[in-house]
Each structure stands twice: as C-alpha cells, then as structure tokens.
Amino acid sequence: MGIFNINRSMVKVGRWSGYILIFFIFVFFLTGFGQTRGILPRIYSKYLHEKVLPLPAFFFFILHTLLNIKFALIRNGFRNQRLLNIYLLCVGVMASFGFVYIYFK
C-alpha cells in the first residue's frame, strides 16, 4: 500500500469522523435542550450530556480536526510529512490528556 492510498484512506476517515461528529453535536444540543426545556426526561438528558457524550465527541473532534489540519498544511506547501505527523500526534496526545484530566478531575 503506497503513501497515496494511505492518504486517501485518511481523507475518508476524516470525512466519516466529521459525519459522526455532526451526530454527536446534534445529540449534545438535544440533550442540552432536554435539560432546560424538558424535551427529554431531565435525568436522562443530564446523564447523556455530562457522562456519555463528552469523551466520544472529543475523540471524533480531535480526529477530524487533526486530519484536516494535516491535509490543509500539505496543500499549502508543507513538505515534511514525517515531521508533520509527529507534531500533530503530539498535539493530539497532549489535547487528549488535558481533556481527560479535566473531565475526570
């Protein structure tokens, strides 16, 4: 499998993570309104909004964002893909650790 096929697969992963992220954001809005406006039962809305949704939504946000940043930088002339991959991986790991620390604190 060549680098072209890997990049093509990563573009597809970035797109699908965006679609999944849209779903999570919609459910976030729905559960937020469920808590304040009584659209859904408040206890279920609060549980979903505060306990279930944040971690997977953040995972898909980081995945979608970092993949699209990578391809935007490549389009704008950044040539060293190895350095770019290491940098974005470090940013993703640091952001994930920070979010998990704040979430479980």
CA distance 34 to 24: 15
Residue 1 has pLDDT above 80, yes or no: no
DSSP 39: S
Specify the pLDDT at position 99: 96
Quote the percentage of the chain above a pLDDT of 90.
79
Cβ-based neighbours of 97, under 8 Å, separated by 6 or more: none
Is residue 8 over pLDDT 90?
no
Q: What is the pLDDT of residue 2?
A: 63
**What are 30-64's pLDDT values in tens digits?**
999 999 988 889 999 999 999 999 999 999 999 99
Q: Is the dihedral of CA 92, 93, 96, 98 positive or negative?
A: negative
Query: Greater confidence, 2 or 14?
Result: 14
Q: Is the pLDDT of residue 85 over 70?
A: yes
